[in-house]
Chain A
Amino acid sequence: MVTTRTHRFVPRRQFLAFLSAAATGALAAACSQSAAPATPSSPPASDSKPTAPTAAAPAQATKPAAAAPASGTQSGTAKTITFWNEANSPTANQGWDALAETFQKAHPDLEVKRVFQTEMSNIIKVALASDTGPDVFQRDIPPSYHQPLVDANLVIAMDDYYKSHQNLQNVFPWAKQRATIAGKVWGVPHEVEFIPMFYNKGVFEQAGIAELPSSSYDEFLTLCKTIKDAGIQPLGLAGRSRTQPGHLYSILTMLTVGKAGFEQILYEEGRWDQDGMVESATRMKELLDLGYLANDAVAQEGPAVQAAFAAGRYAMWPTGTWSMAGFEDSKKDNPSFEYDYFIPPVLNSQLQNPQIAGGIGGGFSISSKAKDRDISAVWIDFLMGPDAQKIWNTVFYQAAPTPFDATSSDLPETPQKAMGLISKGEEMGYNISVVVPSNVVEIYWNGLGGILSEQLTPKDWASMVQTEWEKAKAEGRVLKP
């Protein structure tokens, strides 16, 4: 039985037990006259909200009782896997329901208890260390996130499962490489995503854009100018959400130092305050100074930018492929809205086009305290299989890094194109914020906001990031070269 709810009632039941224990204790001390044991505060409480306690009480009383026989008959010998995934939109929720249902059909003897966790990155280590964590969890798995868990022996190496499970064998080597620490693979990357430049087709037509920039960054700047001259704001950005300036910066970094150049920092002795990294930040500021990036970008919010983009107020929006689900939603309210994406061409002529900011968005790992590692692996193997891939593609507009036929699904045009790119299995660059440790992310995000709000120069920002990077290195939160 796949259920997301069980988790919720256990604590409530414990709590109920506690309540009754406390009440009994209090009543035991009662004098002989007080035979009517209502809680003392119930008169005022029932005055104001008569329905509330009664509505809550049956829920507590009946649900566990109902759940007990159910698990007795259904599971009998059924084994449970506790699985935490990162909370998401209602659409994603539907996708997870579909995944769970499909798994259920294939494995009636296994039960997955699914729990949405919003603050996964913040709590997973503490939860695992205190043995209150899940068997399997979904989270970013680059070394900077995984290294502390590996060091603390909280997750298991999955090399053997990669050999024994069919779907894991198919994982693209580059993706597997990104989950590798000290020669072993500590998780299964499942989500390939990238950050292109989305554009509003209608606006491009209106501004008379016939050709997309393809060879040099200057073409991109010219494009922006044409749009601006046509009286339209070229670029939107949701700068109030801390992540968004990071997305734009990731794009520019890939165009300036490229994937290989950034790997020098990530895995070798490369520095954040090198020229290329500073230049990327300067280029970001340049977009603002030239008036291409909306001057209130730092104050904008994701949903507002999306609506404005769909309404044609912004010609382009640098954001991740995860935004496509929202774009498709916007189409429903706004049938004339059509969009597509392109990868901006490189800034540095020594780099090859395209340099794509993107890569692995998330992965699955097994806790070293998992009740049963083998069945945990069965669940992960399923999530990487062809049945799951179909759901990833059609519901999430994502793809697991395994070979698949992107043309077989019935997807809207642009998501179809994105899936096609992913299915080629070529390695991508990086979305920086998902591959650096939390202390670096903090200054990385905040500092980019600082640059856009003119509180910080690109050079100062770069040296602040370098300082945190060195600190993370010293604390063992970064792969040592």
Chain B
Amino acid sequence: MQSVARVSSRPAHVSLGRVARQGSIHAVILVALTIAVVPFLWAILGSLKHNDAIFLDPFSFPSPPRWDNYSEAWIRGKFGTYFWNSVAIAVPSVTLTLFCSSLAGFSFARLRFPASRWVFYTFLIGMAIPTNAILIPLYYTVRDLRLLDSLPGVIFPQIASGLPFGIFMMRAFFRTLPHELEDAARIDGCSDLGIYWHIMLPLSTGALTTLLVFVFMGSWNDFLIPYVFIHEDSLRTIPLGLLHFQGSYVSEYRLIFAGIVISFIPTLILYLVFQRQFIRGITVGAIRG
């Protein structure tokens, strides 16, 4: 909206037609912007009302705003527990995915070993196999490992589904690095792990951050895997908690809305802070591939 003002107050040499064109561009964008943002505002407003107001007066402004809804959602609605479960899944899931992908990506890109190409293809196939399609045996695998209803029971399947892309990306990245450093280190007698650790990893911080955003989004927003492998209330993640709340007969919509807001705050912060990496994270492979 600010830029609309700026356009119209431009110096006189800008032609009227150009202003009109700019104006209509802004108008179309503003329509899209409204559609994109209104559901957020609606959820935030809803999270500050009491139940009756949500149902009977959905557009009203909460007066006074009920900030208590958040503490109630956090404690009585157990979104606090759900939130930390989501964190306790996302952190190891992201850490291990990054660790395994970079190590394997380095191996594929920089080391020579027999059948390397075929092993890589084996990983690549995984990118084309959707998790939905392997869910049934995966469920029994997780059960047989006694990991049902446990956080690792979600973490490992998540890692496995994220690895193919992670390896693909890290391999592509490591292949772009120049060889001089590596060769020098090798002459100094450093091992492969030393090269990985002291040379490759420090250089790949950018790529890893990009991957981190990508993997974190995947884990934090994952629904299917936790939904199938977690049945116990105290282990639920935020999306599961929301769904459970929605399904119950008790009309606690204000807590649902507060839960929705709690659920998107971390990704929103991540997006605000790492906007560039974030966008690169989701576009990676799109442009490069």
Contact = CB atoms under 8 A, between A and B. Distances in A.
The answer to whether any beta carbons of A and B sit under 8 Å apart in the complex is yes
Contacts of A8: 150, 232, 234-235
A259 B36 CA distance: 53
B205 interface: yes
Given A15-B155, A31-B193, A241-B247, A116 B233 contact: yes
Contacts of B273: 48
Interface stretch (B2-10, B125-133, B140-148): B140-148
Interface in A456-475: none
A31 B190 contact: yes
A40 B251 contact: no
Contact of B52 (A117, A123, A307): A307
A41 B84 contact: no
Q: State the main secondary structure of chain A at its contact with B.
A: helix
A45 B234 contact: no
A303 B251 contact: yes
B225 interface: no
Contacts of B50: 333
Interface in A278-328: 301-304, 306-308, 311, 319, 322-323, 325-326
Contact of A19 (B92, B144, B149): B92
Contact of B152 (A11, A41, A115, A302): A11
Given A19-B92, A41-B94, A306-B249, A333 B51 contact: yes
B85 to A, nearest CB: 9
B248 A33 contact: no
Given A7-B149, A116-B232, A241-B247, A303 B143 contact: no
Contacts of B233: 87, 116-118
B161 interface: no
Interface string B141-175: 00110111111110100000000000000000000
Contact of A45 (B55, B91, B143, B252): B91
Nearest to B208: A44
Interface string B90-104: 111011101100110
Contacts of B285: none
B274 interface: yes
B250 A329 contact: yes
B91 A87 contact: no
B283 to A, nearest CB: 18
B87 to A, nearest CB: 5
B209 interface: yes
Contacts of B78: 90
Nearest to B189: A31
A350 interface: no
Interface in A108-137: 115-120, 123, 126-127, 130, 132
Contact of A91 (B99, B147, B152, B250): B250
A30 B144 contact: no
Contact of A118 (B51, B143, B150, B244): B244
B239 interface: no
A43 B94 CA distance: 12
Interface string A34-53: 10000111111101110011
Interface string A11-28: 110110011001000100
B259 interface: no
Given A30-B197, A55-B87, A334-B52, A39 B95 contact: yes
28 contacts: A7-B234, A11-B146, A11-B152, A30-B197, A31-B192, A34-B197, A41-B98, A44-B212, A48-B209, A49-B91, A55-B84, A59-B88, A90-B77, A90-B250, A115-B149, A115-B234, A118-B232, A118-B244, A303-B249, A307-B56, A311-B55, A311-B56, A319-B249, A322-B249, A329-B251, A333-B50, A333-B51, A334-B52
Given A34-B198, A304-B253, 13 more contacts: A8-B150, A8-B235, A10-B150, A31-B197, A41-B99, A55-B87, A116-B234, A127-B148, A302-B249, A307-B56, A307-B251, A322-B249, A333-B52
Which 10 interchain pairs have the tightest Cβ spacing?
A11-B150, A41-B98, A31-B194, A303-B251, A116-B233, A31-B191, A307-B55, A15-B152, A34-B197, A44-B209
